Amino acid sequence: DYRILHEAALRDHLAGLPDLAAVLGGEPASWSITEVGDGNLNLVFIVKGARGGIAVKQALPYVRLVGESWPLPLSRAHYEHLALSRQAELAPGLVPALLHHNEALALTVMELLEPHIIMRKGLVAATQYPRFVDDITTFMARTLFFTSELALSAADKKEGIAAFAGNHALCKITEDLIFTDPYRIAEQNRWTAPYLDGLAAALRDDMELHVAISRLKLRFMASPEALLHGDLHTGSIMVTEGQTRVIDPEFAFYGPMGFDVGAVLANLLMAYFASAGHERSPGERRAFEDWVLETVEKVWNEFARKFLDLWRGGAVGDAYPASLFAGEQGAARLEAERQAYMQRLFADTVGFAAAKTIRRIFGLAHNIDFELIENPQRRAVSEARAVRLARAMMVETGAFPAIADVTGAAQKLRDW
């Protein structure tokens, strides 16, 4: 029964759903319906009535950014709905409320987030978000910890993995666009030519980088540690100065935790490097960039603190059975093991953050942080700084044992 719902068909569909019609209020003919989707994959409508508004998302049977020549399963709407439901349980108040889902139409209706904006747009305008660190670290710590074997029985974990196993077409997009294409000649790659032509060619010849990105790709494909959002960039986060909501988990699957955490850090670091290319006063630039780097540090530190607190306080999963860590000596050894676990997770995070950066500069899907820098030479300077840091983070990950090593290196590149 799938069909693409344009305005008239959507109006009819919603009018037949009494609960939603009541949220909107007034006569269906009076509802305003505006398509606002600016993402790469779907249609998104804002519908407003006399009483209130809703957001409607419908998956298209192809990649919107490219067109019908690139088919994509509608089932991604099912996985997005499933992920949103799990995230709402695990991180209440940090995802939009679900109001309706129609599997056949690949259509989901959510609360309208207003006056929230896409965080990436706010960062391009040099806006600071004081609640962001606390909210995003709660979201990540809770969704990752409670879907891992630290909190789950082995059986429940395997059920979780199975529930998302069918979302492999979306994983394949990531496997190709993030972990492969930027490092080879691929039709859909693009970059700020001619300024980055040399750098693009260097990436294609950089065997150490190819080893590093391939290790990360294997980690992505073969490490079902927890239920990931799977596309946790600043375009998947809506904010006001006082609220944060994580949206769009259609790439959700069980993968390595560092992929989500790295996505957040990479997108903050790209906002940092892009800042020099945007028109802003030296004072405004300095204040924003300082805030971004402080936020990078706090995101990792707060995430790690909250994740460890959950582990120390309520680990009832099948990993690390309590019976093996009895007494004072056991408690001390387990605590040392927790620290080692976080160190490994940090190394993953650094590597994935690097991969997420390079794909936005040489791959198919770019971001407005850089794209809105109109002067291409200026844009290329910002992008080259980001790539320089990303290459080091990916190939020499061990040189970044702490988050301050990442922000310190970013700061050194500020005027490079």
Interacting residues with ligand SR1 (CB under 6 A): 40-41, 63, 65, 173-174, 177, 231, 365
For residue 248, state whether it binds Mg ion (rule: CB under 5 A): yes
Neighbours of 255 (CB within 10 A): 26
Sheet with 237-239, strands from edge to edge, namely 117-118, 237-239, 244-246
Is residue 150 within 8 Å of 320, Cβ to Cβ? yes
Among all residues, whose Cβ is closest to Mg ion?
Answer: 248
Q: Which does 393 bind (CB under 5 to 8 A by kind): Mg ion, ligand SR1, none?
A: none
Q: How far is CA 400 from CA 244, 344, 354, 396, 406, in A?
A: 29, 12, 12, 8, 6
Is the Cβ of residue 78 or residue 278 nearer to Mg ion in the bound state? 78
In the complex, minimum distance from the CB of residue 312 to ligand SR1, in angstroms, rounded to a whole number: 34
In the complex, minimum distance from the CB of residue 234 to Mg ion, in angstroms, rounded to a whole number: 11
Is the Cβ of residue 79 or residue 145 nearer to ligand SR1 in the bound state? 79
Measured in degrees and rounded to the nearest 5, phi and psi for residue 231 equal: -155, 50
Count of alpha carbons within 13 angstroms of residue 29, beta-carbon side: 0
Give me the residue label for tokens 């710590």.
141
Q: Which does 65 bind (CB under 5 to 8 A by kind): Mg ion, ligand SR1, none?
A: ligand SR1
Neighbours of 208 (CB within 10 A): 11
Is the Cβ of residue 63 or residue 246 nearer to ligand SR1 in the bound state? 63
Number of residues that bind Mg ion (CB under 5 A): 2
Residues 9-68 that bind Mg ion (CB under 5 A): 39
* Interface pattern 205-244 for Mg ion (x via CB under 5 A): ----------------------------------------
Residue 125: DSSP 8-state: T
In the complex, minimum distance from the CB of residue 256 to Mg ion, in angstroms, rounded to a whole number: 20
In the complex, minimum distance from the CB of residue 177 to ligand SR1, in angstroms, rounded to a whole number: 5
For residue 249, state whether it binds Mg ion (rule: CB under 5 A): no
In the complex, minimum distance from the CB of residue 112 to ligand SR1, in angstroms, rounded to a whole number: 21
Q: Which does 410 bind (CB under 5 to 8 A by kind): ligand SR1, Mg ion, none?
A: none
Is the Cβ of residue 267 or residue 407 nearer to ligand SR1 in the bound state? 267
In the complex, minimum distance from the CB of residue 298 to Mg ion, in angstroms, rounded to a whole number: 25
Helices (H), 363-375: 368-371
Per the omega criterion (within 30 degrees of 0), is the bond before 96 cis?
Answer: no
Q: Which does 249 bind (CB under 5 to 8 A by kind): ligand SR1, Mg ion, none?
A: none
Is the Cβ of residue 57 or residue 157 nearer to Mg ion in the bound state? 57
- Exposure string over 138-171, b if 16+ CB within 10 A, otherwise e: bbbbbbbbbbbbbbbeeeebeebbebbeebeebb
Is the Cβ of residue 31 or residue 164 nearer to ligand SR1 in the bound state? 164
**Residue 153, Ramachandran bin (φ over 0: left; ψ between -120 and 50: alpha; else beta):** beta
Is the Cβ of residue 63 or residue 345 nearer to ligand SR1 in the bound state? 63
Stretch that binds Mg ion, among 180-188, 205-213, 245-253, 258-266 (CB under 5 A): 245-253
Q: How far is CA 127 from CA 132, 239, 243, 316, 381, in A?
A: 12, 11, 14, 41, 22
- Containing 58, the helix (H) or strand (E) segment is strand 53-59
In the complex, minimum distance from the CB of residue 310 to ligand SR1, in angstroms, rounded to a whole number: 28
In the complex, minimum distance from the CB of residue 161 to ligand SR1, in angstroms, rounded to a whole number: 21
Which two structure tokens, joined as six digits, stand for 335?
């605590």
Radius of gyration for the chain, computed over Cα atoms and rounded to the nearest angstrom:
22
In the complex, minimum distance from the CB of residue 260 to ligand SR1, in angstroms, rounded to a whole number: 12
Is the Cβ of residue 190 or residue 414 nearer to ligand SR1 in the bound state? 190
Is the Cβ of residue 182 or residue 317 nearer to ligand SR1 in the bound state? 182
Is the Cβ of residue 216 or residue 392 nearer to ligand SR1 in the bound state? 216
Stretch that binds Mg ion, among 70-78, 207-215, 246-254, 392-400 (CB under 5 A): 246-254
User: CA-to-CA distance for 333 and 347, rounded, in angstroms?
Assistant: 21
Q: How far is CA 112 from CA 49, 69, 251, 369, in A?
A: 12, 32, 21, 25
Q: Which does 22 bind (CB under 5 to 8 A by kind): Mg ion, ligand SR1, none?
A: none
Q: Which does 173 bind (CB under 5 to 8 A by kind): ligand SR1, Mg ion, none?
A: ligand SR1
**Residue 67, Ramachandran bin (φ over 0: left; ψ between -120 and 50: alpha; else beta):** left
What is the binding site for Mg ion (CB under 5 A)? 39, 248
